[in-house]
Amino acid sequence: MLPPGQRLRVLREQLGLTIRDVEGASGRIAARHGSEDFAVSPSRLSDIETKGLLPNIYRLYSLSVIYRRDLREMLEWYGIDLNETAADMGLSEPPKSHISGTLDSVASVNVPVRLDPAFDLRRSANLGRMIERWGVVPAAYLSQFSSTRYTYGYLGREDFTMYPLLLPGSFLQVDEAVHTVAEGNWRSEYERPIYFLELRDDYTACWCSLKGDYLVLQPHPLSPTPMRMLKLSQEVEILGQVVGIAMRLDGWRPTAGREAPASAEATKAPRRLN
């Protein structure tokens, strides 16, 4: 693939434009916007095309207009892919709440376009194994789904193991690199890690602890689901730690005939999580 400067030169020549033509057009753009930053002089354009000089954002805009090409495409030539915005946003965490319009410029992302027909909304599942084909569609945050580090789980509508912390029907982002159960004195239920587990014929997400060769599956204190002890590697496998949740808070209703009754723990005083 040609360097971006050479691609710009090829594009200019294909359009039948001379360096002087680009100078004149960029000068008119600069005049319209009242800023000489948009102007591209012959010497500057020559350096961009032949010496790999990086154009500033104003000149790159002028070139995209003159050459009739999408500015996002030209940014990709210089290694900036706006479709990576969603994935990169996780690397910066502003301390204050805000409205984000960052993803408005994202054109397309990879998302699942066909699931296994056996996918059952009532049961928890590993979405990574249920996806049969990926496709390019205009959806923003889902671009992270194509990452090889993570798998994605679906919490079945009949899975109340972590209710009400995790509502049935939630989507889970699971870090497959974490397979070790962390031990500690957790100050709140939000600090204690939640793990996504594969059982013999099912999946679930819950808190965990180790008792010898057994994994203790500890539900939320308010959940109607009982605690279980299963043989690690034989009856249960840790697929990873839940690091992200997509969960609707409005309009949620339990499946008919499967209400979420209060457990005995609901009437007890708050206690420290172990």
Q: Summarize pLDDT for 123-164 with one digit per residue, the tens.
A: 887 766 665 555 544 444 555 555 567 888 888 888 999 999
Class of the domain covering 4-82: mainly alpha
Cα 142 to chain centroid, rounded: 5
Q: One-letter amino acid identity for 136? A: V
Residue 241 to residues 122, 152, 204, 210, 251: CA-CA distances in angstroms? 22, 11, 12, 15, 27
Q: What is the pLDDT of residue 119?
A: 66
* Residue with token string 């209703």: 253
Q: Domain residue spans in the chain?
A: 4-82, 109-267
Q: Summarize pLDDT for 230-248 with one digit per residue, the tens.
A: 999 999 999 999 998 888 7
- C-alpha span between 91 and 86 (Å, rounded): 10
Q: What is the pLDDT of residue 132?
A: 52
- C-alpha span between 85 and 139 (Å, rounded): 12
- C-alpha span between 161 and 30 (Å, rounded): 62
Residue 23 to residues 13, 50, 97: CA-CA distances in angstroms? 14, 16, 44
Q: What is the pLDDT of residue 170?
A: 86
Write the CB contacts of 152 (distance below 8 Å, at least 6 apart in sequence).
Answer: 126, 127, 128, 145, 171, 172, 173, 174
- Can you give the pLDDT of all 274 residues of the chain as single tens digits? 889 999 999 999 999 999 999 999 999 999 999 999 999 999 999 999 999 999 999 999 999 999 999 998 999 999 998 878 777 876 776 776 555 566 555 555 555 555 567 767 678 877 666 655 555 444 445 555 555 678 888 888 889 999 999 998 888 889 999 999 998 888 999 999 999 999 988 899 999 999 999 999 999 999 999 999 999 999 999 999 999 888 877 756 654 444 555 554 544 544 444 4
- C-alpha span between 217 and 229 (Å, rounded): 6
Residue 164 has which token pair? Answer: 């009400």
Half-sphere exposure of 87 (CA within 13 A, CB side): 15
Q: What is the pLDDT of residue 63?
A: 97
* Helices marked H in 16-166: 19-33, 42-50, 57-66, 71-77, 85-89, 127-130
Half-sphere exposure of 227 (CA within 13 A, CB side): 14
* Residue with token string 């959940």: 223
Closest CA to 25 of 80, 65, 77, 72: 65
Superfamily covering domain 109-267: Umud Fragment, subunit A (2.10.109.10)
